[in-house]
Amino acid sequence: MKKTNNKVELNKQILILLVFVGLLSGNMFSQINPKAKSLLEQRGEIIIRFKQPSSMNLPTLTKMMSIDNYVKHKDGNEISAYLNQREFLQFEKLNINYEIISPPALKSTVTMCSDIPGVKNWNCYPTYSQYVQIMQSFATDYPNLCKLVEFGQSVDGHKLLAVKISDNVNSDEEEPAFLYTSTMHGNETTGFVLMLRFIDYLLSNYSSDSRISDLVNSTEIWINPLFNPDGTYYLGDNIIDDIYSRRFNSNGEDLNRNFPDPTGDLHPDGAAWQPETLAMIDFMKNHPFVFAANFHGGAEVVNYPWDAWAEDGIPPPSKMHPDDLWYQEISREYADTVHANSSNYMTTLDGYPNPSGITNGGDWYVVFGSRQDYVNHYLHFRETTIELGTKTPAASSLPTYWNYNYRSFLNYINRVHAGIFGKIVDQDGLPLHAKIRLDAYDVDSSLVYSHASNGMYYRMLQDGSYRLIASCDGYSFVDTVVSVLNHLPTELNLVLYKWPASIQNLDNQHARILKFTNPVHSNLDIDIQLEKPGTYKLELFDITGKEVINQFLDGYVGVNKIDINVGSLKEGTYFCKIYSGYFNQKIKFVKLDK
């Protein structure tokens, strides 16, 4: 199958399945497997295991259910998945043999904390009220270091809480911001307790441990221990046990399938954005995060983007993140530190040896609507998903998980300080919301932006030399080479100058357009003569002023031939602007279909 037909083929398969399934009625629900019916009535979700039919590809199946594990076998790949009532009724219509899996919490000995002092023994699970109280106590006991924020509410009205930890906690400093968040699947609670303990660890050791004080003094650290309280406390605020916790939120939706997808599908799960999803999106948009990690359970692995694309996945087409090698490096750093402090932890994945402790998301199994893909594609900062192991482990084992992971927690935050950073301002020193792109490196959405409020930008990178281009509409741009050495921060502050009104008088100086095609069918060809070498910018606008093409070009002395593919543009009138710091040329042309 050709890659150009992958999306069409995928949509065709989904459409055929939906037509085949048809409308599902309450009467049909009453006729399903009695055990399945009982679980769906009690928990609102069911876990099943089945062999992948040879006639159905993984992207088609992942659109229909919340896949939890995908194990590749020669005699047929095995899938474990969570389904709500709607999804299960659709699945049963496919006539695929399956087995029902008991909820993971049923296999653990879960001990609830008796009181707040008991919570700080870190070998029990807090009730919801204890969780809220201990989050409040962090801010009360350490007012100069910790601030509590309620950034939204769940479907059932539970608080969505995060703390900010910083040496100047009530100020927005010019330093990178890092986010840890956990338990967006309500029954994956290891990270929930570990993040509460990590908050306490940072605050209680700030005055006595120089490494922690240095980290807090140089970084804004945000921690959201519980993103899906409705799932964790599904059948009661006082217990996390047996059938009392579940993966989905109160509406029966998987929050890690509910984010806009980089493939362009805004609702890949076919559901409305949930209150928790919208609250998290607003929270992340309102803070200039540089790096984040999202804790899950059920496997032991560091999972990095993309989730929606696999290296060998057809469909969808293959795609690797431009920072793929950097992601492998920082993921290995997390796992290697774990390996140095554990035995046989983060060394297997779905029953197979995985000594590196890391995986590309899509190479494990394709997921649409994941939060890490949303963050990387739409918000232009970096996020990984860290699977900590058993979903709801015995409470007595929580200290062991802590000893395996807490050093990696510290190392991961420190990665925000390795790369290029600086401030971008205009000629008056005012901050700019500028675009920072690495030439011949960044593609899709991997570029970053400086923050509008202070002009600060951070670009985490491996060691090496990079050609950096900083630009902002209405301003000059900077094209420079910068190096990162020894995993140390490299500071690069830049000034972009506002184009003066007199730039219109530069049209016939240093550059001259000799000829261009008009009208245009598929390619816009422009010959421009330059008197100086250097980078210049080309912008193309439609008749309404909407920008449709934006790119940088390398110029040399003499006649430069520009060839721009405009075949996908609609018929109409367009304007093209070609400029640099010493010239500004404009043309107007008409695009016609053949």
Q: Are 202 and 11 in contact (CB under 8 A)?
A: no
- How far, in whole angstroms, is CA 102 from its chain's centroid? 30
The answer to whether the CB of 117 falls within 8 A of the CB of 77 is no
Q: Which residues is 349 bridged to in the sheet? A: 352
Structure tokens at 146: 């910790």
Q: How far apart, in Å, do the first and last CA atoms of the chain sit?
A: 29
Q: What is the 3-state secondary structure (H, E, C) of 8-77?
A: HHHHHHHHHHHHHHCCCCHHHHHCCCHHHHHHHHHHCCEEEEEECCCCCCHHHHHCCCEEEEEECCCCCC
**491 annotated active-site:** no
- Of residues 45, 387, 531, 547, which has the active-site annotation? 387
SS3 label, residue 538: strand
Distances (CA, A) of 133 to 116, 129, 130: 8, 6, 5
3-state SS assignment for residue 574: strand
- DSSP letter for each residue of 74-94: TT--EEEEEE-HHHHHHHHTT
Peptide bond into 499 cis (omega under 30): no
Residue 439 main-chain phi, psi, to 5 deg? -65, 140
Question: Could you tell me the two tokens for 380?
Answer: 């232009």
**Among 324, 299, 315, which Cα is nearest to 366's?**
315
Strand partners, 223: 163, 180
132: three-class secondary structure by DSSP:
helix
Farthest-apart Cα atoms in the chain, separation: 82
Q: What is the secondary structure of 340-361 as a DSSP string? A: TT-SSSS-EETTEE-TT-EEEH
d(C-alpha 150, C-alpha 397), whole Å = 30
The rounded Cα 521 to chain-centroid distance in angstroms is: 39
**Annotated catalytic sites, by residue?**
387
